[in-house]
Amino acid sequence: MAPFRNPGNRIQYEIRLMKPITIRLGGYQKPASIHTRACERFGEVLQAKLGDQVDFQFVSDVLALGRKSGDLPIMVKNGELSMCYISSLRFTEWVPALKIFDLPFLMRDRATAYAALDGALGDRLRAQLLEHSPYRLLGYWDNGFRHFSNRVRPIHTPADCKDIRIRHQMSTLQGESLRLMGFEPIAEDIKIFFEQIAGERFQAQDNPLTNIVNFNVHKHHRYITLSGHVFGVACLMVNRAEYDFWPAEVQKAVDEAATEATVLQRQLAAAEDEEVLKKLDPAENEVVQLSADEHRAFVAAVKPVTDKYRKELGGEWFGLVAD
């Protein structure tokens, strides 16, 4: 793949001609979200370091503006935003190896995931994004272990998934995995899912616990299965051309603010799962903990998709994830 060349956009402008420098960060979640709180920390640190050199603007929820979450990378690429956070799957067009984060049951726990993200795997993906995309990656955020929720029945085994229509992220790979489990997968942007959650199109979905509660999915889906089938990775991205035009002190401050925001985001993510489970009312929601045998049945069901992408992506990528 040839290196990406950005011909320039709206920003080649104010950095040279005027101050303050406007930095707009976009997201798609509510105030209580761990992502939103991390973005706020980013802004606080940036303002503390740069003062009136920068005009930081946080667009916290583009869904409320009528946009889709999938618009965020486009808005950054086009210069409408400077930065955004969103799932790594939105960048596989430029770096196909990012599909590794969509594979089921690859990361057994957060320690394994963080070691991979902060080690050779994360470094190689970061370099490829810089070379082949219009973005610079500033941080890998914890997008949570994804779990099933549905309104049909408790899910303990792949047999329980049969014929249930499930909304999933915009990932062909994830759709393949869910179909092998027995679901009828439907890829759709989160905005559309929320608009149609009470209708007949979707009977189930998968998300980390924080989203299941903060987006009120639990009010529509009685059954929640702690499958942990995918560890989600969100990428904090900046428009590469815009970043390159910033003075060195602004780049340094942005990098440092991103590091502090990432530390906070991961701390919040790790604590959130336990807090969310405490909020669920047993009278309203039935939480299913998979037994070891039930878990192994799901892992066995999706083995064909793991084998397929090990061959497609190359086994060397898998070697960068600790067993």
Is there a contact between 103 and 92 (Cβ–Cβ < 8 Å)? no
Is there a contact between 184 and 116 (Cβ–Cβ < 8 Å)? no
Is there a contact between 103 and 229 (Cβ–Cβ < 8 Å)? no
Indicate the domain borders of the chain: 14-318
Per 3-state DSSP, the chain is made up of helix, strand and coil in percentages (nearest 5) of 50, 20, 30
Give the Cα separation of 67 and 253 in Å (integer): 29
**pTM of the entire structure?**
0.89
In tens digits, the chain (323 residues) has pLDDT values of 444 445 444 554 444 446 799 999 999 999 989 999 999 999 999 999 999 999 999 999 999 999 999 999 999 999 999 999 999 999 999 999 999 999 999 999 999 999 999 999 999 999 999 999 999 999 999 999 999 999 999 999 999 999 999 999 999 999 999 999 999 999 999 999 999 999 999 999 999 999 999 889 999 999 999 999 999 999 999 999 999 999 999 999 999 999 999 999 999 998 988 899 998 999 999 999 999 999 999 999 999 999 999 999 998 899 898 65
**pLDDT for residue 167:** 98
Give the Cα separation of 91 and 321 in Å (integer): 20
**pLDDT for residue 239:** 98
**pLDDT for residue 3:** 46
Is there a contact between 146 and 229 (Cβ–Cβ < 8 Å)? yes
- Domain 14-318, what architecture? 3-Layer(aba) Sandwich (3.40)
DSSP 229-247: EEEEEEEEEEEHHHHHHS-
Q: List, in order, residues 6 or more apart from 54 with CB less than 8 Å away.
A: 20, 21, 22, 23, 46, 47, 250, 253
Give the Cα separation of 317 and 303 in Å (integer): 17
* Angular region, 321: left φ>0, alpha ψ -120 to 50, beta rest: beta
Q: How many CA atoms lie within 13 A of 82 on its CB side?
A: 23
- Give me the residue label for tokens 């086009």: 78
Is there a contact between 261 and 139 (Cβ–Cβ < 8 Å)? yes
Q: Count Cβ neighbours within 10 Å for each residue of 90-127 and write b for 16 or more, e otherwise.
A: bbbebbbbbbbbbbbbbbeebeebbbbbeeebbeebbe
